Chains A and B, each alone.
Chain A
């Protein structure tokens, strides 16, 4: 995946990072994303696997433990920072929208 992709996160990336604020295994992420978004955001297992691989490579998450096929991950400082930057960006979008609505 191109590096510039991380300047803005896709919804799927965003939710995976949110899920990993607490140590979790990949399978739990799928359930959690579906639950949080009430099935609005579909996170395919292949996409999840690829994104976990990319996040690991970029140092945005790290593996905490591995029990057989089950691997647990948690967000790193770098990942948290990117997540909060994305949050700020989204907030700006919302406030820009709101001020545009107010000025109408």
Chain B
């Protein structure tokens, strides 16, 4: 005789609002000769082969349970006792959902007050999912409104920031979907109670459906980000697919942690601590690490890129190589805006370094303060995105910036300077500020002492052409 016990696994999300449909499903399985044995991680249903049998199942949500429960504890055991007394055999629990069966068709139902059951489940749905959805959508609304106002420049210039809008949109969509279903369910349930019908017959979704939806979104989102990153040369934007892989990793780990917690019967507090604090923390840590790797990778590429001021070019601005021990490079960060590092700060750092190394005084240098700080600096704005460029240009000539640093160029003199339009302004006696733009970039330049001469503009022009 074959004594091997046959088992089968099925995947379905077990939730209170779909308890009726789960119950019907389990009863159908029993008629087909499969008896429920255990539920893992709220979705893996394990069946064992039995003689086909006509039994009644009950899928009930315990009122004082938590979604982080891994096994019945303390007072919840009283619930099982009550049910046992009423002829219902306990099979297993999945978080706050308890599964019972009875072979007695006349057994008193576990819930005899549909209104009370409805109120309990309604509250639990809001507590377990509603609050999280509210918090998430609140964050998303805040992020979206900031992205469309004060952070617009970042959004326009960074693929990552731009792509985040989609994610916030997705969160909002999910929250709207949840609340729409939630309120529709409440409405339907109320009329069902009035009519004396069953309330909790919502069809149970399978984890595969959720995963396919998420994978579909990730594919579309990742592809768009890759295309944009390629188009605009935004290397950091290329980490979006990596982020998605991490997200799927997180989903898998959450599932594994829940399985582990249930197997080891970890308490509610410990389990919720892991799921709500430890896992998000580890995820953010890994994300930060990956971001750092990408940034370092991009910086490495930059150091070999053009956009370097040579020693001779430095001289035309009154600087010699000795002030700048290493080459000053164009800092090509994740924005399309190129920003030349403040050469004077570089010089200051070098002086500070020299000071540290000499262990004493350098004439004219006190502590970390360099007397030549900010005699001039250059900011170079360069973008491949036409919309940003147009706006920068418009704002430069208006003298008003809608965000970020304010250009105050109302009192500036406009000149044509070697194929470049220049706004020149004496901000303080002997200190000039320039806004220069050609067909591809805008330079904001501050010069002490003398006005910009031809050699200096030639250097700027070279930088702009790069």
Cross-chain contact B120 with A42 (CB below 8 angstroms): no
Indicate if B82 sits at the interface (CB-CB under 8 A).
yes
In angstroms, how far is the closest chain B Cβ from the Cβ of A56? 10
Known: A12-B112, A26-B78, A44-B112. Contact between A50 and B120, CB under 8 A? yes
How far is B82's CA from A69's CA once the two chains are assembled, in angstroms? 10
| Beta-carbon nearest neighbor of A44 in chain B | B112
**Contact of A45 with B110 in the complex, beta carbons under 8 Å:** yes
Known: A1-B119, A50-B63. A30 touches B112 (CB 8 A): no
Q: Which residues of B contact A48 (CB under 8 A)?
A: 82
Residues A49 and B112 in contact in the complex (CB < 8 Å), given A2-B119, A69-B77 = no
B64, A46: Cβ atoms closer than 8 Å:
no
Do B81 and A43 touch (CB < 8 A)? no
Q: Which of A1-49 contact B (CB under 8 A)?
A: 1-2, 10, 12, 26-27, 30, 42-49
A43 CB contacts on chain B under 8 angstroms: 108, 112
Q: Point out the residues of chain A lying under 8 angstroms from B112, CB to CB.
A: 12, 42-44, 47
By the criterion CB–CB under 8 Å, are A53 and B63 in contact? Answer: yes
Q: Is A82 an interface residue (CB 8 A)?
A: no
Stretch among B83-91, B127-135, B323-331 lining the A interface: B83-91
For the side of the interface on B, what is the size category? 20 to 34
How far, in whole Å, are A47 and B60 apart by their CA atoms in the complex?
11
CB–CB A45/B113 < 8 A: no
Tell me if B81 and A69 are in contact (CB < 8 A). yes
Interface size classification for chain A: 20 to 34
CB-nearest residue of chain B relative to A48?
Answer: B82
Checking B82, B108, B113 against A26 with a beta-carbon cut-off of 8 angstroms, the contacting residue is B82
Once the chains bind, are A47 and B63 in contact (CB under 8 Å)?
no
4 A-B pairs closest in CB distance: A45-B82, A44-B112, A46-B110, A45-B86
Which residues of chain B have a CB within 8 Å of any CB of chain A?
58, 60, 62-64, 75, 77-83, 85-86, 88, 108-113, 116-117, 119-120
Can you list 23 residue pairs at the A/B interface with Cβ under 8 Å?
A12-B113, A26-B78, A26-B81, A27-B81, A30-B82, A42-B108, A42-B109, A43-B108, A43-B112, A44-B111, A45-B79, A45-B82, A45-B88, A45-B108, A47-B112, A47-B113, A49-B62, A50-B113, A51-B116, A53-B63, A53-B64, A69-B80, A70-B81
Interface on A for B, CB 8 Å cutoff? Answer: 1-2, 10, 12, 26-27, 30, 42-51, 53, 69-71
